[in-house]
């Protein structure tokens, strides 16, 4: 006996997966190439139906008042799909909505699944669209009662029969059912070959829709692994984004820093629909100096707006603290008078032990202030011109990031053993980029955490 299939379609209260409720379900069980049983029912979701859903499906709240709840028909759904393969058009939507609703009822629902969108792309290549309506038009499949569960499920049955009758369908279906193939995980509109060519390396990636528009830009240490994680994420935004994705481009970076800078530039240039984090303004923090009543000069940090004559700007409090900790170590400053600890009495910072004793009367105010002045002078010189050297895209290459007059100029790639050039020579290798608050934040944080990769640069180089 051939493997039985359950062709399923549902209508719901929304477009996401989490929190979405079923309003109608239709199931056609196929055995030996024929429909053996059918189950169709409206479902009372226990909530109001949004107007836009009623406009699309014709299902309104009044229609569902006397319909059974999902809990009442769950045993029938389990019975009719038992031992069969779950088949649907864009299967991950229908399958995961049902699975989540069953989970809320305390029931398990686990079935192998097949997607007729992905199968159609493989068996009927070259069509302009693989939406159910366009497929039915292209393949002369009758489609009535569109956007109702029974009408769409009935059309999907006819589509699936055409797939089964196509030459080479058996091996293709066997491949799709192989758990290692990940076919049930990939977005319905994304060709597997596009996913397979993604590298397991650092870089940026671009999710694109059917019009070739970038709808999301991301960065990763491992592009292929990170892209796959989007497909497993069932948050509404991720599900909708993946359903719209038909192509993925990428650019290798060699390192996470370059990937971060490339991602930031791409988001500012493309302003993709599903990117949100860098559309928000991050508050800046600043380090500043002041003198107390005893004449002791302090180094402190606060929001940049409230900091008088800022000496350096950062974008997290953590980076401010790390920076001040480093200057305490380098110049023998006191953690208490750098506002790294606020308790009365002498300092006792667990990472900083080089305080000269200003906090316990063992050092003169004049001597301590001299060290603070030296540190401030160094802060003002710091990062005027510098090059960051990072991993390249292969073993024979290095990446460089150029900062001139404290402003990010861009990045480029040079031979691994090439000497560090001067500023004018470096510009020949650099892809010019815009200095933004985001790039300042990235580079300030990087320089604090990786001082060994940062080289101070004069006009003539080093």
Among residues 147, 247, 298, 383, the one annotated as catalytic is: 147
Of the CA atoms within 13 Å of residue 129, those in its CB half-sphere come to: 10
Q: Contact, 30 vs 7, CB < 8 A?
A: yes
CA max distance for the chain: 95
Helix (H, G, I), strand (E, B) or coil at 227: helix
3-state secondary structure of 309: coil
Task: Report how far residue 345's alpha carbon sits from residue 327's, in angstroms, rounded to the nearest whole number.
Answer: 21
Q: The tokens of 351 are what? A: 């990472």
> Token digits for 223?
């592009």
Would residue 147 show up in a list of annotated catalytic residues for this protein?
Answer: yes
Closest to 328 measured CA to CA, from 291, 359, 283, 366: 359
85-88 vs 5-12, strand pairing mode = parallel
Nearest-angstrom CA–CA distance, 385 and 223: 32
Q: Are 243 and 189 in contact (CB under 8 A)?
A: yes
Residue 141 CA, distance from chain mean position: 38
Q: In sequence order, which ranges of 111-187 are alpha helices (DSSP H)?
A: 116-123, 132-138, 149-164, 169-177
85 with 61: CB under 8 angstroms? no
Burial class (CB in 10 A: 0-12, 13-18, 19+), 311: middle
Residues serving a catalytic function are 147
């Amino acid at each position: 006996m051939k493997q039985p299939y359950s062709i399923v379609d549902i209508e719901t209260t929304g477009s996401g997966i989490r929190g979405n409720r079923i309003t109608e379900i239709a199931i056609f069980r196929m055995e030996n190439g024929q429909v053996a049983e059918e189950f169709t029912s409206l479902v009372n979701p226990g909530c109001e139906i949004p107007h836009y859903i009623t406009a699309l499906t014709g299902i309104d709240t009044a229609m569902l008042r006397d319909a059974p709840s999902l809990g009442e028909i769950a045993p029938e759904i389990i019975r009719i799909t038992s031992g069969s393969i779950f088949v649907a058009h864009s299967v991950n939507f229908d399958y995961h909505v049902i699975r989540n609703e069953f989970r809320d009822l305390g029931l398990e629902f686990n079935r192998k699944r097949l997607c007729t969108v992905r199968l159609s792309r493989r068996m009927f290549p070259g069509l302009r669209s693989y939406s159910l309506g366009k497929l039915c038009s292209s393949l002369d499949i009758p489609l009535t009662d569109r956007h109702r569960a029974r009408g769409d499920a009935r059309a999907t049955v006819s589509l699936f029969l055409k797939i089964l009758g196509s030459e080479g369908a058996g091996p293709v279906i066997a491949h799709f059912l192989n758990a290692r193939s990940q076919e049930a995980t990939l977005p319905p509109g994304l060709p597997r070959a596009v996913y397979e060519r993604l590298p397991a390396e650092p870089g940026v990636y671009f999710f694109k829709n059917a019009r070739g528009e970038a709808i999301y830009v991301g960065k990763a240490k491992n592009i292929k692994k990170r892209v796959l994680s989007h497909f497993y994420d069932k948050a509404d935004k991720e599900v909708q984004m993946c359903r719209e994705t038909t192509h993925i481009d990428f650019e290798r970076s060699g390192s996470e820093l370059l990937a971060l800078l490339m991602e930031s530039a791409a988001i500012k240039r493309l302003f993709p629909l599903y990117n949100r984090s860098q559309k928000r303004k991050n508050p800046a923090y600043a380090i500043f100096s002041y003198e107390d009543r005893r004449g002791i000069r302090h180094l402190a940090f606060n929001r940049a707006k409230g900091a008088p004559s800022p000496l350096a700007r950062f974008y997290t409090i953590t980076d401010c603290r790390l920076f001040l900790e480093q200057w305490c170590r380098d110049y023998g400053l006191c953690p208490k008078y750098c506002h790294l600890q606020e308790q009365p009495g002498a300092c006792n910072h667990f990472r900083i032990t080089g305080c000269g004793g200003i906090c316990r009367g063992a050092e003169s105010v004049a001597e301590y202030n001299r060290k603070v002045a030296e540190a401030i002078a160094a802060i003002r010189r710091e990062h005027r011109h510098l090059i960051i050297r990072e991993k390249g895209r292969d073993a024979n290459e290095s990446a460089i990031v150029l900062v001139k007059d404290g402003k990010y100029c861009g990045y480029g790639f040079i031979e691994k053993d090439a000497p560090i050039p001067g500023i004018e020579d470096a510009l020949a290798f650099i892809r010019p980029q815009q200095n933004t608050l985001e790039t300042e934040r990235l580079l300030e944080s990087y320089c604090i955490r990786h001082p060994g990769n940062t080289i101070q640069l004069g006009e003539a180089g080093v």
